[in-house]
């Protein structure tokens, strides 16, 4: 039976906490990110203890969240509703209420917390405690898991309290209590310590993602460690290594001084959908039957997310997905030639034309809604391919380098860079393409 955490930790994990909270408050700017977040200060410091019981699928968490943004008077946090009502306390907390809301992957609880003003020299903290089964029922899309073979956590399952704005960056220190023979990888830093793991996130990022594995095959590629968690493991791994080497070389050349890609860890899963990139942690779906065009495009896409910076929950999500996807299509074209590229574009056009309902534009200044899948992953890349044809590959490559270098977060910023690279008339034509 797993119970909520006691106030006193057992002595099996001995850690020396990093002084990253003070550093984040004092820093004027954060650069050299290893995540997809833009270069800005963190809004929160997460300091937590997490106890896992993979055999039962249960967990218990105890967090202290320090609010680093002195201007915030209210905080809204999402948490998986499977945990029931969390305990929220703290001297800075004036009121705390919760409501049930529907999320993309199930029910969540929204916690609205009113905070007292920030006094000079003092930090504002709130403590959040909860426990239970993360997945009382099997999720429809098992992007996250908690079982005896693998613990895979990202914000997709809302296993941790997450800012409802989806744009607040966090730094973090997390002790994970998990005895046994496990290996771990994380977005930034994870260390095996007596009794479990210590996860450290010193660079502000949008998520706190990590994967722990008890059953896997490890493979190496230049700059990458590959962890194959499939049963049986091994299918098509050589092709993955080749694709990683090609995509890394191509993207680093394209990015120029906006690169290079950092060394990363790759997890190959057994699911059919749900690949993602979280900084230096990348998860792939089951690639056993993937043909070279699909595999190279998939891996280039996930690596391309290193330069994604738009808010994923707003209209700007098309920047994240469409740019990563077109970069991937360019990388596939470099590896396999024009015919493979044109075949993929034709496939995209068939999917867009066959949509059950009319698709909205990729982007207009009046738009406020997050684009649907077919816009972000198909119509947007097609628009970028047309922009490339409009201005020529050499000019378009310079434009892409500037987007990667400037860490673009909005479409108007992107269009300004397009105008610099290709001129005002080309910008007008590109805007018209986006508005179709």
* Distance from C-alpha of 317 to C-alpha of 400, rounded to nearest angstrom: 17
Given 179, 213, 247, the domain boundary residue is 213
Rounded distance between C-alpha atoms, residue 145 and residue 164, angstroms:
22
pLDDT for residue 128: 98
Specify if 341 maps to a domain: yes
Same domain, 26 and 122: yes
Residues in the chain: 436
Say whether both 72 and 158 belong to one domain: yes
SS (H, E, C) 55-91: CCCEEEEEEEEEECCCCCCEEEEEEEHHHCCCEEECC
Q: CATH no. for residue 351?
A: 1.10.390.10
Final residue of a structural domain among 182, 213, 244: 213
Asked whether the beta carbons of 249 and 222 are under 8 A apart, the reply is: no
Residue 6: the pLDDT is 32
How is residue 178 written in tokens? 């998990």
Beta strands in 229-272 (DSSP E): 264-268
Structure tokens at 6: 């006691």
Structural domain contains residue 99: yes
Q: How many domains does the chain have?
A: 3
Q: What is the CATH number of the domain that holds 85?
A: 2.60.40.1730
Q: Cα 53 from chain centroid?
A: 25
Give the CATH number, domain containing residue 251.
3.30.2010.30
Using left for φ > 0, alpha for ψ between -120 and 50, and beta otherwise, residue 166 falls in left
Question: CA–CA separation, 283 vs 299, rounded Å?
Answer: 10
Considering the domain architecture, whether residues 196 and 106 belong to the same structural domain is answered as yes
For residue 277, the SS3 value is strand
Enclosing domain of residue 206: 20-213
Does 247 share its domain with 327? no
The candidate with the shortest Cα–Cα distance to 159, out of 74, 82, 45, 54, is 82
3-state helix, strand, coil split of the chain in percent (to 5) is: 35, 30, 40
Instruction: Find out whether 326 and 433 touch, Cβ atoms under 8 Å.
Output: no
Q: What is the pLDDT of residue 277?
A: 94
How confident is the model at residue 86, as a pLDDT? 98
Q: Is residue 34 domain-resident?
A: yes
Residues in the chain with pLDDT < 50?
1-39
Given CA atoms 251, 213, 176, 156 in this order, what sign does their dihedral have? positive
Give yes or no: residues 344 and 425 share one domain.
yes
Instruction: Give the contacts of 7 (CB within 8 A, at least 6 positions apart).
Output: none
Does any domain span residue 312? no
* Omega before 308 within 30 of 0, i.e. cis: no
Q: Which residue has the tokens 């005002």?
A: 424
* Lookup result for tokens 């992107």: 414
pLDDT at 40: 65
Same domain, 325 and 415: yes
The answer to whether 383 and 362 have CB atoms below 8 angstroms apart is yes
Pair 42, 138 in one domain:
yes
Task: Based on the fold, state whether residues 290 and 205 are members of the same structural domain.
Answer: no
The answer as to whether 142 is a domain residue is yes
Q: Is residue 371 part of a domain?
A: yes
Closest by CA to 52, choosing from 177, 165, 164, is 177
Q: How far is the C-alpha of 252 from the C-alpha of 225, rounded, in Å?
A: 18
Residues 97 and 229 in one domain: no
SS3 150: strand
Q: Do 143 and 279 belong to one domain?
A: no
Q: Do 42 and 169 fall into the same domain?
A: yes
Q: Taking Cα atoms as reference points, which of 266, 256, 213 lies closest to residue 236?
A: 266
Nearest Cα residue to 196 out of 181, 214, 186: 181
User: What whole-number distance in Å separates Cα of residue 202 and Cα of residue 199?
Assistant: 10
Same domain, 136 and 209: yes
Structure tokens belonging to residue 92: 């800075």
Residue 287 in any domain: the answer is yes
Instruction: Give the tens place of pLDDT for each residue, 283-340.
Output: 999 999 999 999 999 999 999 999 988 888 899 999 999 999 999 999 999 999 999 9
User: What is the crossing angle of helices 317-336 and 411-422, to 10°?
Assistant: 40
Using the 3D structure, point to which of 164, 187, 213 is the last residue of a domain.
213
Q: Quick check: is 7 in a domain?
A: no
Residue located via tokens 């994970």: 176
């Amino acid at each position: 039976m797993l119970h909520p955490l006691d106030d006193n930790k057992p002595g099996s994990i001995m850690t020396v906490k990093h002084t990253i909270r003070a550093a984040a408050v004092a820093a004027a700017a954060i650069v050299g990110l290893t995540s997809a977040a833009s270069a800005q200060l963190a809004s929160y410091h997460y300091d937590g203890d997490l106890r896992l019981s993979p055999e039962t699928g249960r967990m218990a968490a105890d967090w202290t969240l320090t609010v680093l943004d002195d201007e915030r008077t209210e905080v809204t946090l999402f948490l998986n509703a499977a945990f029931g009502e969390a305990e929220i306390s703290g001297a800075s907390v004036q009121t705390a209420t919760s409501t049930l809301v529907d999320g993309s992957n199930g029910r969540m609880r929204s916690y609205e917390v009113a905070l007292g003003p920030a006094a000079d020299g003092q930090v504002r903290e709130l403590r959040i405690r909860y426990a239970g089964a993360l997945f009382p029922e099997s999720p429809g899309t098992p992007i996250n898991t908690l079982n005896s073979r693998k613990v895979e956590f990202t914000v997709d399952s809302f296993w941790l309290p997450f800012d409802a704005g989806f744009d607040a960056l966090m730094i973090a220190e997390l002790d994970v209590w998990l005895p046994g023979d496990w290996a771990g990888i994380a977005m930034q830093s994870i260390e095996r310590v007596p009794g479990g793991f210590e996860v450290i996130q010193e660079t502000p990022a949008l998520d706190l993602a990590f994967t722990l594995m008890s059953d896997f095959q490890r493979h190496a590629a230049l700059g990458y460690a590959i962890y194959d968690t499939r049963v049986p493991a091994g299918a098509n791994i050589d092709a993955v290594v080749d694709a990683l080497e090609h995509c890394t070389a191509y993207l680093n050349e394209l990015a120029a001084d906006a690169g290079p890609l950092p060394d990363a860890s790759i997890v190959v899963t057994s699911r059919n959908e749900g690949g993602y990139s979280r900084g230096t942690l990348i998860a792939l779906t089951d690639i056993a039957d993937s043909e070279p065009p699909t595999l190279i495009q998939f891996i280039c896409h996930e690596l391309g997310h290193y330069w994604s910076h738009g808010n994923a929950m707003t209209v700007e999500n098309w920047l994240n997905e469409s740019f990563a996807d077109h970069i991937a299509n360019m990388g596939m074209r470099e590896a396999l030639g024009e015919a493979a590229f044109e075949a993929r574009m034709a496939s995209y056009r068939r999917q867009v034309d066959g949509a059950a309902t009319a698709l909205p534009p990729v982007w207009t200044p009046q738009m406020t809604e997050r684009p649907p899948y077919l816009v972000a992953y198909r119509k947007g890349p097609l628009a970028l391919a047309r922009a490339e044809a409009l201005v020529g590959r050499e000019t378009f490559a310079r434009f892409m380098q500037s987007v990667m270098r400037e860490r673009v977060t909005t479409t108007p910023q992107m269009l300004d860079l397009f105008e610099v690279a290709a001129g005002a008339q080309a910008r007008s034509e590109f805007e018209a393409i986006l508005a179709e």
